[in-house]
């Protein structure tokens, strides 16, 4: 086991926000939850590597679902503990006793949620997550690509009420998504959900092993560069495989809300060596694809397309981008498990079609 303390977790949250690729919750919300933990408890997170999990030992993810504003107003946190504790009972009865907790995705908020539960309940945390990025739907990700069933599915509200769903088709991720979204609405657009029971082999061979350590290294590079007033993108290149796609000023952000998601397009006018150029980023919570001014698609999901505010060094989600911000657009390769099966891309096609794209995946070169 490795022990991470508050400074490590702050770095993790910065890195997870960047690697969340526009989604996964805002950094400020993760830092708020960390601050609440620090007020109640010594911030010490015991971490296990997925390959060190023994046969018959299981982990489960927990995350928030709903509207970020509602989660902040309701002081989200306890519902994540309620959801995990209910899942713990169910898993034991089902013959898969839980020993560990993990993140379902990367992001400034949703990577903090399981760490919050792990610290307050003294549960070891797995160095890995379900996707190595953030994803917009339960049906979009490595869990469905590798047929890891989202059942049982536990949802909890801030009042302690919990709901357990068993799917008739254990691999019906679209039904799981539909249930989770509607229950979160019933809970005032702020709920926790817990599902996907996995073992160490699942995490290593199908999901995103070592991703939390990756977040820590990336976040440390961001924060060290901010303190020293160094170019953050150049510092990131020293610690991770990333490509600067563009630098410029956000000219416009068009957003429409549909089915509880933010669909939108960010238009960026180039600065410096990109002067005179324009790119657009289409997103559904997370960034989906980048087009140049001729309409050519430069990169698509599942590769990570992420943005960084050059004025303050903060990684951004699409809930925070606004006209006038000076940003860098960065491309980061998705974990290799995304490319092992066709479903690693085809699970995105129904979303890409909504933003007018019907082509194949475009990888970073």
Angle at 75 between CA 193 and CA 210, to 5 degrees: 50
Q: What is the pLDDT of residue 85?
A: 97
Largest separation between any pair of C-alpha atoms in the chain: 62
Q: CA–CA distance from 341 to each of 70, 205, 289, 356 (Å)?
A: 36, 12, 20, 24
Whether residue 10 has pLDDT greater than 80: yes
Convert the pLDDT of each residue in 294-339 to its tens digit: 999 999 999 999 999 999 999 999 989 999 999 999 999 999 999 9
Q: Are strands 208-209 and 125-129 parallel, antiparallel or unpaired?
A: antiparallel
Convert the pLDDT of each residue in 211-250 to its tens digit: 999 999 999 999 999 999 999 999 999 999 999 999 999 9
In this structure, what are the phi and psi dihedrals at residue 174, rounded to the nearest 5 degrees? Answer: -70, -40
Per-residue tokens: 230? 């160094």
In whole angstroms, give the CA distance from residue 114 to residue 278. 39
CATH number of 238-354: 2.40.390.10
Residues of the chain with CATH 2.40.390.10: 238-354
Whether residue 268 has pLDDT greater than 80: yes
Band the pLDDT of 261: cuts 50, 70, 90: low
pLDDT over 90 for what percent of the chain?
Answer: 91
**How many other β-carbons are positioned within 10 Å of the β-carbon of residue 8?**
21
For residues 49-74, average pLDDT: 89
Band the pLDDT of 259: cuts 50, 70, 90: low
- Under 8 Å CB-to-CB from 148, ≥6 apart: which residues? 142, 196, 198, 202, 206
Whether residue 363 has pLDDT greater than 80: yes
Whether residue 22 has pLDDT greater than 80: yes
Q: What is the pLDDT of residue 265?
A: 96
Q: What is the pLDDT of residue 41?
A: 86
pLDDT over 70 for what percent of the chain?
Answer: 98
Q: What is the pLDDT of residue 162?
A: 97
Please answer whether residues 21 and 304 qualify as being in contact, where contact means their C-beta atoms are separated by less than 8 angstroms.
Answer: yes
Whether residue 353 has pLDDT greater than 90: yes
Assigned CATH class of 2-211: alpha beta
Angle at 340 between CA 143 and CA 351, to 5 degrees: 55
Question: Tokens 């030992």 belong to which residue?
Answer: 57
pTM for this predicted structure: 0.96
For residues 158-178, average pLDDT: 95
Q: What is the pLDDT of residue 361?
A: 97
The total number of residues shown for the chain amounts to 365
Band the pLDDT of 189: cuts 50, 70, 90: confident
Mean pLDDT, the chain, rounded, equals 95
Buried b (16+ CB within 10 A) or exposed e, 222-256: bbebeeeeeebbebbeeebebebbbbbebeebeee
Whether residue 258 has pLDDT greater than 80: no
Residues of the chain with CATH 3.40.1610.10: 2-211
Q: What is the pLDDT of residue 70?
A: 72
Mean pLDDT is lowest, of 15-19, 116-120, 182-186, 194-198, for 182-186
- Environment class of residue 132 by beta-carbon count within 10 Å: exposed (0-12), middle (13-18) or buried (19+)? buried
Whether residue 77 has pLDDT greater than 80: yes
Whether residue 155 has pLDDT greater than 70: yes
Q: For 151, how many CA atoms within 13 A lie in the half-sphere containing its CB?
A: 15
Whether residue 263 has pLDDT greater than 90: no
Question: Tokens 């933010």 belong to which residue?
Answer: 262
- Under 8 Å CB-to-CB from 162, ≥6 apart: which residues? 82, 83, 86, 154, 155, 156
């Amino acid at each position: 086991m490795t022990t991470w303390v508050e400074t490590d977790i702050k770095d993790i949250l910065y890195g997870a926000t960047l690697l969340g690729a526009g989604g996964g919750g805002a950094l400020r919300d993760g830092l708020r939850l960390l601050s609440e933990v620090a007020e109640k408890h010594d911030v010490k997170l015991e971490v296990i590597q997925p390959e060190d999990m023994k046969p018959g030992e299981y982990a489960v993810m927990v995350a928030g679902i709903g509207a970020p504003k509602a989660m902040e107003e309701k002081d989200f946190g306890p519902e994540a503990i309620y959801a995990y504790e209910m899942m713990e009972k169910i898993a034991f009865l089902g013959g898969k006793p839980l020993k560990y907790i993990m993140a379902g995705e990367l992001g400034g908020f949703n990577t903090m949620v399981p760490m919050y539960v792990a610290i307050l309940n003294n549960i070891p945390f797995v160095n890995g997550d379900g996707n190595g990025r953030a994803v917009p739907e339960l049906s979009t990700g490595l869990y469905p690509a590798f047929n890891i069933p989202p059942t049982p599915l536990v949802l909890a509200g801030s009042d302690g009420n919990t709901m357990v769903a068993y799917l008739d088709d254990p691999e019906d991720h679209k039904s799981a998504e539909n249930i989770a979204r509607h229950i979160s609405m019933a809970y005032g657009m702020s709920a926790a959900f817990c599902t996907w029971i996995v073992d160490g082999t699942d995490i290593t061979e199908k999901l995103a092993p070592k991703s939390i350590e990756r977040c820590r290294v990336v976040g440390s590079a961001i924060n060290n560069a901010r303190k020293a007033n160094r170019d953050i993108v150049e510092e990131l290149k020293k610690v991770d495989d990333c490509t600067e796609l563009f630098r410029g000023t956000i000219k416009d952000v068009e957003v429409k809300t549909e089915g509880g998601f933010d669909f939108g397009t960010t238009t960026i006018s180039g600065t410096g060596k990109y002067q005179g150029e324009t790119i657009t980023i289409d997103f559904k919570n997370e960034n989906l694809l980048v087009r140049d001014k001729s309409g050519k698609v430069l990169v698509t999901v599942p590769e990570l397309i992420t943005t960084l505010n050059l004025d303050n060094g903060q990684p951004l989600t699409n809930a925070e981008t606004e006209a006038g911000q000076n940003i860098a657009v960065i491309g980061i390769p998705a974990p290799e498990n995304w490319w092992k099966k066709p479903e690693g891309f085809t699970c995105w096609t129904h979303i890409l079609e909504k933003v007018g794209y019907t082509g194949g995946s475009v990888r970073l070169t």
